[in-house]
Amino acid sequence: MTTETYVIDQPEVASLPVRGTEARFPVHRIYCVGRNYAAHAVEMGHDPDKEPPFFFQKSPTCLVSDGKAIPYPTETADFHHEIELVVALSKGGRDIATEDALGHVWGYAVGLDMTRRDIQAELKKAQRPWCTAKSFDGAAPCGALVPAAEIGHPDRGAIWLDVNGERRQEGALEQMIWKVPETIALLSRFFELRAGDLIMTGTPAGVGALRPGDSVHGHVDGVGDLRLTVA
């Protein structure tokens, strides 16, 4: 067995805690599904009946664990929250059949797709990639993962987010346009999925701006809660 030698110190592996244990889940990539709730698609000025799903990525280094403070990012004056159900894969593959997709899921978590909305609007107008709007330090807060072996595969129930005790976002998992198995199957047509990949499955309506000092509480029925503050 050979031991590889690196010319710099090997970067730390991004990971998430597993609820109730000392174990960690190593994260390979983070995929995000855009406009996967009809009401959110409408509030962003799109017609959900005419759009197939689309995907973008965040770097694993964007992850922030539950309970931590996230920094208000630079270069924006319109920092938005988007509450999401997060899917963690235990095995990958290409061209995964919809009926087999849930067999690739290790567990679930509550996450946030944080967005520099003003930068995103500028990038959309210029028809440029969204990287600086979606993939930055603190852009992917995520709670502890819960094994599917414990909770099953949640496909119904409330998803909501409060800011300073006031309800901002509210929806239901059954309102997803593309369900978890369909999303995994479609994503695997574009990428060879791998163990350790996370999928953020889209957000309900009500996205809005955060300010320094805000307290955020997100919830997904059957999965759990996510709490953080904006520094």
**Which CATH number belongs to the domain containing residue 154 in this structure?**
3.90.850.10
Q: What DSSP state is assigned to residue 73?
A: P
Q: Which residue has the tokens 């050979």?
A: 2
1 assigned to some structural domain: no
List the structure tokens of 139.
């852009």
Task: Tell me how far apart the alpha carbons of residues 50 and 78 are, in angstroms, rounded to a whole number.
Answer: 28
Q: Starting from the edge strand earliest in sequence, which strands make up the sheet with 115-116, in order?
A: 115-116, 79-81, 208-209
10 assigned to some structural domain: no
Read off the pLDDT band of 165 (50, 70, 90): very high
9 assigned to some structural domain: no
211 assigned to some structural domain: yes
Mean of the pLDDT values across residues 144-154? Answer: 98
Check residue 140 and give its pLDDT.
97
Mean of the pLDDT values across residues 32-45? Answer: 72
Q: What is the pTM of this model?
A: 0.93
4 assigned to some structural domain: no
Check residue 2 and give its pLDDT.
65
Q: H or E segment at 159?
A: strand 158-163
Q: What domain range is 219 assigned to?
A: 15-230
Read off the pLDDT band of 46 (50, 70, 90): low
6 assigned to some structural domain: no
Give the model confidence (pLDDT) of 80-116 as tens digits: 999 999 999 999 999 999 999 999 999 999 999 999 9
Instruction: Give how many domains the chain has, as a whole number.
Output: 1
32 assigned to some structural domain: yes
5 assigned to some structural domain: no
Mean of the pLDDT values across residues 123-128? Answer: 95
Read off the pLDDT band of 127 (50, 70, 90): very high
Is 49 a residue whose pLDDT tops 70? no
Angle at 170 between CA 79 and CA 162, to 5 degrees: 55
